[in-house]
Amino acid sequence: MPEEENTKTEGVAQDPGQEEEEIRETGSLKLTGKSGKHGIRLLTIIGEIEGHEAVSGNTKATKYEHLLPRLAEAEEDEDTEGVLILLNTLGGDVEAGLAIAEMIASLSKPTVSLVLGGSHSIGGPLAVSADYSFIVPTGTMIVHPVRSTGMFIGVIQSYRNMEKTQDRIARFIADHSKITQERLLELMLDSTQLVKDVGTMLEGEDAVREGLIDEVGGISQAFAKLHEMIEQRRKNL
């Protein structure tokens, strides 16, 4: 009796149609390292960070229920040696953003983030959650106090809750970057920069100077750094 045909696809690149669907649905892509380099998971955080409520159908959004499983998969997948995160977001749901940031920060594999365009509001913790962060020269980061659009049932209680949330964000950013929590709060409460609002907008070099981001650079620098970190991890294993 003839042996059954082996249908396994080990070492075979992902079907282009599947790749397109993965990018469209989850904004992620597994780079197979065809040139002999390392296996890297590419993740994009684009548009608004969507939380428990769906955003408008006309709004580009990153769904955290899509991103969290991809991050868990990257942690467990032996072929994935590092993760590259591309960011261009105006912010969004605070709890969802912090959940993603904590997940990235807790990965055991090397991670690099690259801010393209902007990483505003809750995008700040996402940008600094990686082991090493880049921002393009024209990229921007806006830091500002936590806001709420919900109904205030108890004013004092709501204010205290917002303060605690703001402290959580500031503490996370300070713990994962070179900026101090005190300096970050100063930038958040600056009333001289943003029209009709408080906060600070930092361009590429300013973000590095303040210690929020590690280095000004683009995609080639981000890949080079990630490959370097992966090689160092291999040596340490």
What are the C-alpha distances in Å from 36 to residues 11, 39, 82? 12, 9, 15
Catalytic residue among 113, 121, 133, 177: 121
What are the C-alpha distances in Å from 171 to residues 87, 165, 166? 21, 10, 8
Q: Which residue has the tokens 């649905």?
A: 25
Calpha distance 70→78 (Å, rounded): 14
What are the C-alpha distances in Å from 60 to residues 26, 30, 47, 135, 150? 12, 22, 5, 21, 22
Known catalytic residue: 220? no
Known catalytic residue: 66? no
For residue 46, what is the enclosing H or E element?
strand 40-50
Q: Which residue has the tokens 């003839």?
A: 2
119 Cβ contact partners less than 8 Å away, ≥ 6 residues apart = 87, 88, 89, 126, 127, 135, 139, 140, 141
At residue 98, φ and ψ (nearest 5 deg) are: -65, -35
Catalytic residue among 38, 120, 144, 176: 144
How many other C-beta atoms are found inside a 10 Å radius of the C-beta of residue 135? 31
Helix (H, G, I), strand (E, B) or coil at 200: strand
Q: Which positions are annotated as active-site residues? A: 121, 144
